[in-house]
Amino acid sequence: MTDAADRALAAQYEAYPYPQRDPAEEARRLVIGSPSHLREVDHWVFGARRPAGRPLRALFAGGGSGDGAIMLAQQMAWAGRPGEVVWLDRSAAARRVAEARAAVRGLSNIRFVSGSLLELPALGLGAFDYVDCCGVLHHLPDPAAGLAALARALAPGGGIGLMVYAPHGRTGVYMLQDALRLLAPPDRPPPERLEVARRLWRHLPETAWLKKNPWITDHLSGGDAGLYDLLLNPRDVAFTVPALLDLLAGAGLRPITFIEPVRYDAARYLPDPRLRERVAAMSWRERAALAEAIAGNMGIHILYAARAEDPPATPDWTDPAAVPVLREVTHGRMAEAAAGGALRVTFDGITLSLPLPRLAPAILRRVDGRRSLGAIRDGLVAEGAEAARAAADLAETCRTLEATNRLLLSAPAG
């Protein structure tokens, strides 16, 4: 299915491939994020049960200028992980940028396919263990049909990583989209619309909500592509937590987790015991919906999901052979951060203080991506900790840090 807005969307991403990237930058840094970080895929999608040596087929549906596909392909290459990353998008301009980025990195595990994700079966790409769809569904004429097409492309046991817009953190965006539809109608040439948007931004009254919204920065730091995508996009819809979970269910998918999980637990925002009692009686879905409504700062939702019919693959933190790993933080820094008996984490302006047990710093100093949970516990005992205390503190530290998406379990060798 396509319509006038969809044709305008296709034209937008030809004129302004998203996100705006200079391939030369690949020599200096790797853009990382969620979803689709290899450690997250190992942990959240496969429950740290899928052997690292088993080839992984990953699809990036609406891969754009390549952030996610390049990240995963590079992480797989660095880790010597077999498999293939398939980039799929209908924008030829985005493909040129993504291909140039892969070339600068010398990546040979990434394949580029031009086409629509709505026509996946006709493309004959086969089944995928993992599908990324980041920032795409909310632009489609029928997001439910798009997600269903992706769900059908999953191999048994496979999972999906999504990012969609969320309404509250985007306060101010939709008003300005309305304003710009009047000032610079969609049928005007894109450069002209951009120029009008820039002028409007300079002269907006102070009361315009986007001026007061610090969580949205694409129009300030995302170049022409960022500004156009945010304020001149022919179609974008935002999903509340319940709307997104309903969308998933309609596509035969089951949520695994939001990222970061701790942000979606309303109890974390509410120290008042009476309120906490009420939250404690709520389902996971209600707690997440409440967290979104309370926090007000969520402009996107990142979510991992699995096929509803597959048995859950939950990471097993009680397995002594499992190897924990920190995502992007060194164990020294994490141990320091945990030294005061609590870890303070800030997400889009909200700082949460997460209590940690006494042995947390000693535990985190031992997390090096090689030592197993059993070896960490034995090390604590060898240093004089009582065995039951070591086991309890290890479990609590892992549970708390997993909820921040900072401490995850590695894929098993083999």
Ligand X SMILES: C[S@@+](CC[C@H](N)C(=O)[O-])C[C@H]1O[C@@H](n2cnc3c(N)ncnc32)[C@H](O)[C@@H]1O
Q: What residues make contact with ligand X under the rule CB under 6 A?
A: 9, 13, 18-19, 62-64, 67-68, 89-91, 94, 116-118, 134-136, 139-140, 229
In the complex, the smallest distance separating the C-beta of residue 89 from ligand X, rounded to whole angstroms, is 4
Nearest CB to ligand X, comparing residues 136 and 245: 136
Nearest CB to ligand X, comparing residues 15 and 208: 15
In the complex, the smallest distance separating the C-beta of residue 240 from ligand X, rounded to whole angstroms, is 20
Cβ atoms 45, 256 nearer than 8 A: yes
Q: What is the dihedral of CA 205, 206, 207, 209, to 10 degrees?
A: 100
In the complex, the smallest distance separating the C-beta of residue 226 from ligand X, rounded to whole angstroms, is 10
In the complex, the smallest distance separating the C-beta of residue 254 from ligand X, rounded to whole angstroms, is 23
- Residue 138 per-residue DSSP state: G
In the complex, the smallest distance separating the C-beta of residue 40 from ligand X, rounded to whole angstroms, is 15
- Which of these, 281, 275, 310, lies nearest to 294 by C-alpha position? 275
Q: b/e per residue, 160-184, with b = 16+ CB within 10 A?
A: bbbbbbbbbbbbbbbebbebbeeeb
**DSSP string for 94-114:** HHHHHHHHHHHHT--SEEEEE
For the four alpha carbons of 337, 343, 345 and 351, in that order, the dihedral sign comes to: negative
Cβ atoms 90, 7 nearer than 8 A: no
Radius of gyration of the chain (CA): 22
Give the three-state DSSP class for 189.
coil
Q: Which residue is nearest to ligand X (CB)?
A: 64
In the complex, the smallest distance separating the C-beta of residue 402 from ligand X, rounded to whole angstroms, is 25
